[in-house]
Amino acid sequence: MNFKLTCKKLHLLATAVLGGIGLGGVSLPVVHAAEEQDAYKIKWSANVGLGYDGNAYRTHNGIYVDHSIARPARNALPAINAPTITPVIQSGFFVPIDLRGKYLSHKGIGTSLAVSANADGRFYLEPDLTNANHHKLIGGIGINNLLARKGGREEAIYAGAIIGRVKNFFYDRDTGKAWMVGRAADKDISMRESYKVLGLEGQYTNEMGYIRYGAHGSLEERTHDDPVVSDNFSNTYIRFGGHAEAKIIANSSLKLTYQHGFRDFKERNPRDLTGRRRNANGLLQWNDNSYRASLRNKLGTDIQLYLDYNLNTRVDNFQGYDDFTEHKFGIRLDYTPGDVWRIRVAIARADVNYDNALAFNTICNVTCPSTIGQPRLTESRIDADIRTEYELNKQQSIWVDADYSSVDTNDLRYDYSRNQFMIGGKSAF
């Protein structure tokens, strides 16, 4: 089979189909004969390692009372009969994998067929830790329209389709076992956070003078595995946003990013202000907004310092039980001594304010005093990471990574700390 000829036919077919339905709302120019002679381009990378996870199931360190399982006494608050939980922290080795590939039918000015495939995941080696495995497979096919190129600057529009599968196991953090529900705790709902995705996406990027900017958007149908005995998480997910980066003073640049997301659930009900999900509450909807500012400072020929700030908000379009505001501050340092070493140090802290959510989702009358029932949910997180990479040649490198994360919350089901260490290699062509 003539590989080049086959790819060219696919390119012409996709151009005709996608152009005919007006995907992305843009008119894609015809490729000139001279530009058709530009060689196709294939890029791929493989990143594989071995890691040790000190807390694979993100388990709380210590005995606690689980108020979420409590049953209220007759007309009495707070709830009673809450069980005492003794969590078991489990640790062990895992294999992190990140594979990426991209094909362009040609890399010149004009339209080209773009095909991409990404796979990443984490696979634990001990049998007792396999419930912590997770992976994601995402593929894309579309039309990339390179409008202009000057030096290293490009103006481009991409529009295409995405398809994928995400596998997450829903487990009990205290034990690592599959999450069970029902009066006899005999109904398995461990599959409900896994889903298939099918959708459309588009992106525009450009550079003008010292300013780089762009916009993106996607429409996804996420079909979750249905446990039947519990809420189905299937939803329609829409997101769009943009970014701009500009040099502000010598050796410093500022990047601003905004993204809006809307998630419309098919079956899941929102919680009311008592923490209960009821059919009468309607269907859950989330509106998310994310604002990010990143200041990059070049401190020398081999040191760059980044200062980051994120503001993330959510509104649940009902009574606001899921509403939150998150402020996240971070600092990153990139150090590249010589031509083959790269060292990155990053630390971030996030504080989340929940106006209406209750710790343990414990039922409490709206008008009850704060001394009765569970208090409002509070949460803060810290993430720290040190990574060093050594370049063997232009295509291959080896790396070592150490990561620490912790969540401090008064809902002790989700309070934990975790250390991870990894070593691996990367190949890119």
CATH of the domain spanning 287-429: 2.40.160.40
Identify the CA nearest to 168 among candidates 202, 200, 191.
191
Strand partners, 304: 298, 334
pLDDT recorded at residue 38: 62
Confidence of residue 26 (pLDDT cuts 50, 70, 90): very low
117-126, 149-158, 299-308, range with the lowest pLDDT? 149-158
* pLDDT beyond 50 at 238: yes
Residue 61, pLDDT score: 96
What's the whole-model pTM score? 0.85
Residue 160, judged by CB atoms within 10 A of its CB (0-12, 13-18, 19+), counts as buried
Closest CA to 233 of 199, 189, 268, 264: 268
Residue 139 clears pLDDT 60, i.e. is over it: yes
* Per-domain boundaries in the chain: 1-56+91-268, 287-429
Read out DSSP for 278-321?
Answer: -GGG---EEEEEEEEEEEEEE-SSSEEEEEEEEEEEEE-SSSST
Task: Compute how many other C-beta atoms are within 10 angstroms of the C-beta atom of residue 344.
Answer: 18
Asked if 58 contacts 416 with a C-beta cutoff of 8 angstroms, the reply is yes
Of residues 33 and 114, the one with the higher pLDDT is 114
pLDDT digits (tens, 9 = 90+) for 264-290: 999 999 999 988 899 999 999 999 999
